[in-house]
Amino acid sequence: MMRLYDYVLSPSCYKVRLMAALAGVSLELRPVDFHPGAEHRGPELLSLNPAGSLPILVDGDLVLTESSAILVYLAGKAASQWLGRASPVDAAREQQWLSFSSRLTTSLGSARLHEMLLRPGDIGALQAAGIAALRELEAGLVEQRLQGRAFLVANAPTVADIACFPYVALAPDGGISLDPYPAIRLWSRALRALPGFIEMPGIHRLHELKPEPLLEPGVV
């Protein structure tokens, strides 16, 4: 079984858990004491990943330490419909958003770590960079909607959506409101409604909606 070096509060680790759940892949979780223990900076984990970051995915001899690469690997192995490979444009769009997702990590993610776990940083600059990235994502999603596509690459979700979703959904943890971004909220809702969706602290599941009263069986 693939082994994920995991931290329950890490949005990047959650990307991997979420993709695995959506793709129906079982993972062996190896919890890492990121906070307060800083185990990711200890010798055992640094020998696996010199960057000192999480997640780390180990599958046999293969060691992956970049979350986007891990998402592509999981989808490629078990759910290839999650790869935007229908056309050169789709493939390029997917790469575009996968790369873009690292900007979310360094802005929204760092703001969140600063506000929540007291990590150092210039909070004003981090929040400003986060808001700039959210506006770009909002504009991208609006463009997609105008073309009849609900997700970042196509009208079905891809690894690019999973790569961007967690840090965006947790932006309020870093003191950044999502109120100004209706397209992002619709997109977030569409992702949370996917069969097999799992949550993490700060990202709540959708409440199950009661059926429309007039559509209930026996009521005409």
Partner 1 sequence: MTDDTASAQAMTDEWYPVGLISQLDKTGRQTALMGEPIVVAHDADGQALVTGHNGRRLPVKLRYGHVWSSLGTPKKDIFAIPEADQPGRRFVDVGVVRVRCSPLRAVENFLDIAHFPFVHTDVLGAEPHTEVLNYTAEIRPDVDEVWATEVKFYQPQASKSASGGITTEYMYRVPAPTCSVLYKTCPPRPTEWDVITLFVQPLAEDLCDVWPWMALFDDETAMTDLIHFQQMIFLQDRSILENQVPRLLPLDPGMEIPTRADLTSIAYRRWLKRHNYTYGAQLVAR
Judged by CB, which is closer to partner 1: 151, or 165?
A: 165
Cβ–Cβ < 8 Å for 31, 124 = no
Contact between 187 and 154 (Cβ < 8 Å): no
> Which two three-digit tokens encode residue 56?
């780390």
126 binds partner 1 (CB under 8 A): no
Distance from C-alpha of 53 to C-alpha of 84, rounded to nearest angstrom: 27
CB of 165 to partner 1, least distance (A): 16
Q: Is 94 in the site for partner 1 (CB under 8 A)?
A: no
Q: Least Å distance between CB 39 and partner 1?
A: 7
State which of residues 110, 173, 181, 184 lies at the interface with partner 1 (CB under 8 A). 173
Three-state SS at 203:
strand
Cβ–Cβ under 8 Å, residues 158 and 152:
yes
* Using rule CB under 8 A, residue 213 touches partner 1: no
35, 117 Cβ separation under 8 angstroms: yes
30 DSSP β-pair partners = 5
* Residue 7 interacting with partner 1 (CB under 8 A): yes
Determine the residue type at 25: V
For residue 153, give Cα distances in angstroms to 15, 59, 79, 145: 17, 28, 16, 11
Instruction: Provide the minimum distance between the beta carbon of 95 and partner 1 in the complex, in angstroms, as a whole number.
Output: 32
Judged by CB under 8 A, the stretch of 43-51, 83-91, 138-146, 171-179 that binds partner 1 is 171-179
Q: What are phi and psi of 200, to 5 degrees?
A: -140, 165
Q: Is 202 in the site for partner 1 (CB under 8 A)?
A: yes
Of 12, 59, 18, 15, the closest CA to residue 34 belongs to 12
Q: Does 209 participate in binding partner 1 (rule CB under 8 A)?
A: no
- Pick the closer one to partner 1 by CB: 37 or 180: 37
> Which one of 3, 21, 25, 35 is in contact with partner 1 (CB under 8 A)?
35
Q: Which stretch binds partner 1 (CB under 8 A): 88-96, 109-117, 134-142, 153-161?
A: 109-117
Verify binding: residue 37, partner 1, rule CB under 8 A: yes
Tokens of 134: 């959210």
Q: How far is the CB of 164 from partner 1 (least distance, A)?
A: 19
